[in-house]
Amino acid sequence: MNPIQVSLTEDQSRAAFRLSHIITADMVAALTQALEPLADSPHLKLVTIEGAGPDFSFGASVPEHAPGEIDRVLPAMHALIYALLDFPAVTAAIVRGRCLGGGFELALACDFVFAERDATFGLPEIALGVFPPAASALLPARAGSARATSAILSGAVRSADEWFRAGLVEQVSEAGAIAADVDRWFEQHLRNRSAAALRHATAAARLGLRRHVGEILPELERLYLSDLMGTADAAEGIAAFLAKRAPRWADR
């Protein structure tokens, strides 16, 4: 299957991306490239991102995060995060099922997160001996430092309702109802707005977050690539996952 599927409404007011469950370098490149021409659409008001199946995303491809691969993959992922934060239309993640790791990071880069009640969100990178750089930049600003610290350091999976109470999830839908709920939300809040006004309001609403991420994500990327990936445990965590065994940490 193609890493992404793109659809655009006849009036060009909405675009939808459906993603494969694993965030690979090919998927990141395809989504980044697909966003570029849409940025020039004068009528576009909303872009939605969802999984192509019952789950939003299982996270990033673990083999692509091994030493020797991650140096090209991580900067490309962060370029996609910047592209979403700069995109001149409202963006929303539509989350069903699992939303983990890099998938959670993509959702965090969207203006809104809509989720079905059984959706779960988590950052399991710590179990692999690493951490999520983009989430480390985005989540404290989106949901508060204490909740972000807990999510990043524990790797715990939390429900849509928990993130709704934290203010991260805009709306929780019952199973099977999320598409209709997002349609109603669009009709109520965006359909009759000026696309030009929405572009400027979106840029204004994101300004603080964009500056924050632009300042600290490069440092987090350096910490990950130059420091963390030089540790024995980062290599061990990836190797253990691929070998389907428990990691043997050296604590260095």
The CB density around residue 232, as the number of other CB atoms within 10 Å, is 13
C-alpha closest to that of 71 among 222, 214, 215, 232: 222
Domains parsed from the chain with CATH numbers: 4-175 (3.90.226.10)
Phi/psi at 47 (5° precision): -115, 125
User: What pLDDT does residue 40 have?
Assistant: 94
DSSP string over 174-234: -TT-HHHHHHHHHHHHTTTS-HHHHHHHHHHHHHHHHHHHHHHHHHHHHIIIIIGGGSHHH
User: What pLDDT does residue 242 have?
Assistant: 93
The rounded distance, in Å, linking the Cα atoms of 172 and 169 is 7
What are the tens digits of pLDDT across the range 56-84?
999 999 999 988 899 999 999 999 999 99
Average of per-residue pLDDT across 200-208: 98
* 122 touches 110 (CB < 8 A): no
Model-level pTM? 0.96
The mean of the pLDDT values for the chain is: 97
Q: What residues are paired with 100 via a beta bridge?
A: 122
User: What pLDDT does residue 59 have?
Assistant: 95
Q: Report whether pLDDT(3) > 90.
A: no
Q: Report whether pLDDT(235) > 80.
A: yes
User: What pLDDT does residue 50 have?
Assistant: 98
Q: Which residues of 30-40 are buried (b: 16+ CB within 10 A; e: fewer)?
A: bbbebbeebee
Average of per-residue pLDDT across 120-144: 98
User: What pLDDT does residue 1 have?
Assistant: 56
Q: What are 240's two structure tokens?
A: 């253990």
* 111 touches 202 (CB < 8 A): yes
